[in-house]
Structure 1
Amino acid sequence: MSLLAVRDLKVRLGAVQAIDGISFTVGRGEFVGLIGPNGAGKSTLLRTVLGLLPAQGEIAIDGKAAAAMSARERAAHIAYLAQEREIAWDVPVETAVALGRAPHRPAFAGLRDADRDAIEQAMRRMEVDGFRQRPATELSGGEKARVLIARALAQDTPLLLADEPAAGLDPGHQIALMRLFAELASEGRSVVASLHDLGLAARWCSRLILLDRGRIAADGMPGTVLTPQRVREIYGVTAFFGTAAGGNVVQPLDLAEPDEDGAAQR
């Protein structure tokens, strides 16, 4: 049974058809990179799966219709990392991470041993345990990003949705995060992350879904989705393609020149 099943999903934002009839499933143990140019529908898709936007079509989470699930029930199945990295609460880092345990315990109940273990593991994985008592509002942008990722990890759900999780992180922490997501997939959990960095997507994801104008342009292994022609047509750039250290390397190089017939690249 798939963790997430989307069928003929359509989302309209004002006059714009943001998602236009897409279908796909996500099974256990997958690290899916959701890629595509700005405005392709990546963030809209993630927010719709979470029930934050009205839509037509069907969404099932772990075999159950999402429309029939309460917010708490959905949060027990899916953790979400939003694009925004601001932390509004003047609380210690450890308290901010502990908020990820809310779906697993009754309201106003204290932390159990299982909660504390999940919080500690999440903080260690994101290397924020060293400043657990610092006010979260005083952290740098990259540190806040890592705290919010730790909060999502502490939620300990079968499926993690992340909207541009590598944004604001330095290269070392970007790679560490991609490695972590791959480890979660190897443990049987699944991750769906929207990514603008094609190099990270090509190297670390087990599968890529390429969105373009609200539709799926390609879905499959990174080497079959990211091709020179497709990158040129959809992103309007040329890129270097290769392999190194056992993984794919994709590095955008320059804007693509117009075709011979003079057609402009976007």
Structure 2
Amino acid sequence: MSLLDVRDLHVRLGARPVLRGISLNVDAGEFVGLIGPNGAGKTTLMRATLGLVPSRGIVALAGNTGLSARERAKVVAYVPQAREVNWPLTVERVVSLGRMPHLPAFSSPGAQDRDAVARAMRRMGVAAFAGRAVTELSGGEQARVLIARALAQDAPLLLADEPTAGLDPEHQITLMRTFAGIAREGGSVVACLHDLGLAASWCTRLVLMEAGAVVADGPPRDVLTLDRLRSVYHVEAYVREHDHGLVVQPLDLIAPRQ
């Protein structure tokens, strides 16, 4: 089943074209890494998919177009790039906001909602902070709380923009394990990632963007070739197969031509 179907998507910001006819299909069970250099259009693609920026083209979520905001929130959860929290709410209260699309107006969370919140906090390792104000936590802890809020939404599709930013290696791997688990359970995750090592090791598929277009789409070993790393990222890299999957480590800038 297709959870995200984007066809011929164009976005302009002012006079500048940012997305140039993007087409992308994401099925249930996929963990897709959206990769590419700064300015490639990755964040704009996510925002256009959610209707947050004007666009031209077709975007279908679980086979539907023209969804209301509430209907869309039942299909797709979003972790934005900016994750600073300024509200003195408890961790549990912030995570419970992810249940809003499922609650009738003016109703209180029920047992199913409380279970979803508790499960999301456990997955992101923030259950011990449940009663603390989010503003008392570190930046990385706040990031994990907001990811937990998206997980509590229980949407079949999760879009996450640079979700590993600010996380230490333990929690980066925990997060990637969680995303991989969502895909195995039949959901789908599309994550914008700059860490090519994590993308190569954990994603089932990579979509490489450059200058507002998709230049490669497929399994990590087919996308992250030495030639593409040189031409798109302008780096020399170590690329090897390992027991845990593909290992990719950028080493240096490519030598300038004389």
Alignment deviations for residues 191-222 of structure 1 (CA, whole Å, 9 cap, x no partner): 00000000000000000000000000000000
- CA distance in structure 1 between the aligned counterparts of 2:96 and 2:126, rounded to whole angstroms: 13
CA distance in 2, matches of 1:87, 1:107: 25
Taking the aligned partners of 1:245 and 1:133, their CA distance within structure 2 comes to 41
Tell me the amino acid that sits aligned with residue 227 of structure 2.
Q
- Counterpart for residue 162 of structure 1: 160
Aligned partner of residue 206 in structure 2, secondary structure: strand
Equivalent in 178, 182, 185 of residue 183 of structure 2: 185
Q: Which residue pairs with 2:206 in the alignment?
A: 208
Query: Residue in 2 aligned with 1:245?
Result: 243
Tell whether 2:56 aligns with 1:56: yes
Please state how far the C-alpha of 1:60 moved relative to its aligned partner. Answer: 0.5
**Aligned pairs for 1:1-266 within 5 A:** 1-65=1-65, 68-259=66-257, 262=258
Deviation string 1:131-180 (CA, Å, 9 cap, x unpaired) is 11110111100000000000000000000000000000000100110011
Q: 1:245 deviation in Å? A: 2.7
Distance 2:136 2:43 in 1: 27
Letter in 2 for 1:237: V
Q: Residue 57 of structure 2 aligns to which amino acid in structure 1?
A: G
Q: SS state of the match for residue 80, structure 1?
A: strand
Unaligned regions of 5+ residues in structure 1, if any? Answer: none
- Aligned positions, number: 258
Question: Equivalents in 1 of 2:3, 2:210: separation in Å?
Answer: 24
Conserved in 1, the CA contact under 8 Å of 2:201 and 2:244?
no
What's the RMSD between the two structures over aligned residues? Answer: 0.8
Deviation per CA, 1:230-254: give whole Å up to 9, x if none: 0000000000001223311000000
- Matched to 1:37, the amino acid is P
TM-score, with length taken from structure 1: 0.96
Moved >3 Å (runs of 4+): none
Amino acid in structure 2 at the alignment position of 1:25:
N
Question: Counterpart of 1:242 in 2: which secondary structure?
Answer: strand
Distance 2:37 2:16 in 1: 16
Task: Measure the CA separation in 1 of the matches of 2:222 and 2:57.
Answer: 28
Which is further off, 82-91 or 4-13? 82-91
Structure 1 residue identity aligned to 2:145: V
